[in-house]
Amino acid sequence: MSEAILNELDIDQFRSAFSKYTIQAFKKLPNLDKPRILDIGCGSGVPTMELAKLSDGEIIGIDIDQDSLDRLKKKIEKAGLTNRVKAINCNLLDIQFPDNSFDIIWAEGTLTTLGVEKSLRTWKRLLKSRGFMVIHDETKHFFKHRDKVNRWGYDFIEHFSLPENAWWEEYYKPLEIKLQELLKKYANDKAALKALEIHQNEVDIVKASPKSFQSVFCIMQKLEKEIEDELFQII
Ligand SMILES: C[S@@+](CC[C@H](N)C(=O)[O-])C[C@H]1O[C@@H](n2cnc3c(N)ncnc32)[C@H](O)[C@@H]1O
């Protein structure tokens, strides 16, 4: 039953309001011919599907939440993109692709598991030389580290912040309206209420302090090995 409720809630329709920022970030990259893109912590793939529309490359989304991956797989099939978009169950703590596999790593909302420094240091090996790392995360988690990324093997290319109230105005506020409607509709259904309340609790946290949830897109580029070695005088 709760799965039917979550389908009715359709979180992706609210997440899609942020696709314009994914597009804005992608357009800041140079044109790459058939790039290989790894979307780390892809969830149900709102950004993954956007990347598939924006590029002619191969996009691999990884996540550990099989329900989300199944939703993404359905979208890939519906869009007829099974030849170049994949949804794979893979833990971001143990990504098995070979070194230098990707032109772009995309990571929206997925830095917290490993932390900022460890994420950037660990995932760097997966990028080709001069490959791009695109991060979208809470400003308070990530932004204070921007001066250190050079030490971690990247050039910091550029960033843009989402409007201060974007998460509240464009995501949580419309989500709350839908939640209230469903909470009323399923007032006598315990399982439905339980599933909806998880989302309402998240809404309440953001509502209490909307400005503390500002997020930022940052674009970095992996340093060439020689430049990195030179910077740290290893050779
Ligand atoms: C905030 S959501 C972001 C989803 C998607 N990137 C987006 O922007 O809509 C974080 C995602 O990271 C995934 N995640 C959390 N821990 C993970 C892990 N250890 N390995 C892979 N994915 C993980 C969650 O399942 C979730 O889908």
Mean of pLDDT values over 220-235: 76
With CA atoms as reference, report the closest residue to 29 among 156, 132, 135, 154.
132
pLDDT, residue 3, reads 77
Cα 194 to Cα 1: distance, rounded to the nearest angstrom:
11
Q: Whose CA is nearest to atom 13 of ligand 1?
A: 41
Q: What is the pTM of this model?
A: 0.94
Cβ–Cβ under 8 Å, residues 136 and 111? no
Asked whether 108 lines ligand 1 (CB < 6 A), one says yes
Of residues 83 and 229, more confidently modeled: 83
71 lines ligand 1 (CB under 6 A): no
Q: Is the CB of 47 under 6 A from ligand 1?
A: yes
Going by the DSSP 8-state scheme, the letter that residue 53 receives in this structure is: H
What pLDDT does residue 225 have? 77
Rounded distance, CA 147 to CA 144, Å? 7
Task: Say what the pLDDT of residue 141 is.
Answer: 84
Give me 117's structure tokens. Answer: 């420094």
Nearest-CA residue for ligand 1 atom 3 is 109
* CATH superfamily of this structure's domain 31-163+214-223: Vaccinia Virus protein VP39 (3.40.50.150)
For ligand 1, atom 11: residue with the closest CA? 41
Q: Is 15 close to ligand 1, i.e. is its CB under 6 Å away?
A: yes
pLDDT tier at 6, thresholds 50, 70, 90: confident
Question: Which 3 state secondary structure label does DSSP give 112?
Answer: coil
pLDDT, average across residues 43-70: 97
Q: What is the pLDDT of residue 234?
A: 57
User: Ligand 1, from 64, 68, 138: best to mutate by most atoms within 8 Å of Cβ?
Assistant: 64
- Alpha carbon of residue 13 to chain centroid: 16
Angstrom distance (rounded) from CA 87 to CA 79? 14
In the predicted model, is pLDDT for residue 235 greater than 70? no
pLDDT of residue 233: 65
* Residue 38 pLDDT > 70: yes
At what angle are helices 2-9 and 173-185 packed, to 10 degrees? 140
The protein residue with its alpha carbon nearest to ligand 1, atom 12, reads 41
Choice between 142 and 152, residue whose per-residue pLDDT is larger: 152
Give residue limits of the domains in the chain.
Answer: 31-163+214-223
Q: 30-34, 135-139, 202-206, 207-211: which range is least confident on average?
A: 207-211
What average pLDDT does range 155-180 have in this prediction? 96
pLDDT tens-digit readout, 86-107 = 999 999 999 999 999 999 999 9
Asked if the model's pLDDT at residue 49 lies above 90, the reply is yes
Residue of 10, 67, 110, 199 to mutate, ligand 1, most atoms within 8 A of C-beta: 110
Instruction: Over range 135-145, report the average pLDDT.
Output: 90
Residue in 20, 14, 13, 11 with CA at minimum distance from that of residue 162: 20
Q: Is the CB of 137 under 6 A from ligand 1?
A: no
User: Residue 120 in 3-state DSSP?
Assistant: helix
Closest residue by Cα to residue 52 from 26, 74, 28, 15: 26
Which token pair is 164? 């201060």
- Residue 72: its pLDDT value, please? 98
Q: What is the mean pLDDT of the chain?
A: 94
pLDDT in tens, 185-197: 999 999 999 999 9
Q: Does the beta carbon of 61 sit less than 6 angstroms from any atom of ligand 1?
A: no
In sequence order, the 6+-apart residues with CB closer than 8 A to the CB of 140 are 212, 214
Ligand 1 atom showing the smallest separation from residue 15 Cα: 9
Give helix 2-9 / helix 190-208 axis angle, nearest 10°: 40
* Ordered DSSP codes for 151-196: TTTEEEEEEEEPPTTHIIIIIIHHHHHHHHHHHHHTTT-HHHHHHH
